[in-house]
Amino acid sequence: MHRFETRVWYEDTDMAGIVYHANYLKFIERARSDALRVHGVDQRAMKADGLVFVVRRMTVEWRAPAVFEDVLTVTTAATQIKRASATLRQIVLRGDQALFAADVQIACMDASGAPVRIPEAALAALRRLGAEG
């Protein structure tokens, strides 16, 4: 499992002073990109080879609000890995309290938008991401 820390900035909040719902997607995107990078996925090299990861499906649950200046931790763990896709479980925490959870299926695609096998090095990194924790 990968842990990514972020802070809620004023720009992340709405007029009620809580994090605007769509901004949780930004938090988990940053954490997911960081998790892949830390575990050995070079997405720039993949793109140079004509391959990218895209979000194929996402299921989300908002549990409690975050507010300005909260320090949040986003955990990311691979829960299912297939040849052309993987599902990652991401949870946004404030301390021990889960505020938001998402199951995100990413897929590997070529430049034409066709699904392709995940490169072996990226598969190994995803397996490491799932094996921890």
For 14-34, what is each residue's pLDDT tens digit? 999 999 999 999 999 999 999
Q: Which residues are catalytically annotated?
A: 14
User: What would the pLDDT profile of 73-120 be if each residue is shown by its tens digit?
Assistant: 999 999 999 999 999 999 999 999 999 999 999 999 999 999 999 999
- pLDDT band for 133, please (50, 70, 90 cuts): very low
Q: For residue 132, give the amino acid letter.
A: E
Q: What is the pLDDT, as a whole number, of residue 131?
A: 66
Distance CA 98, CA 96 (A): 6
Contacts of 132 (CB under 8 A, 6+ apart): 1, 2, 77
Fold category of 2-131 in CATH: Thiol Ester Dehydrase; Chain A (3.10.129)
pLDDT > 60? residue 132: no
Distance CA 95, CA 9 (A): 17
Got the DSSP string for 62-125? E-S--BTT-EEEEEEEEEEE-SSEEEEEEEEEETTEEEEEEEEEEEEEETTS-B-PPPHHHHHH
Residues in the chain, total? 133
Distance CA 43, CA 5 (A): 21
Domain range summary for the chain, segments of one domain joined by +? 2-131
Choose among 52, 58, 73, 66: nearest CA to 23: 66
Q: For residue 84, give the amino acid letter.
A: A
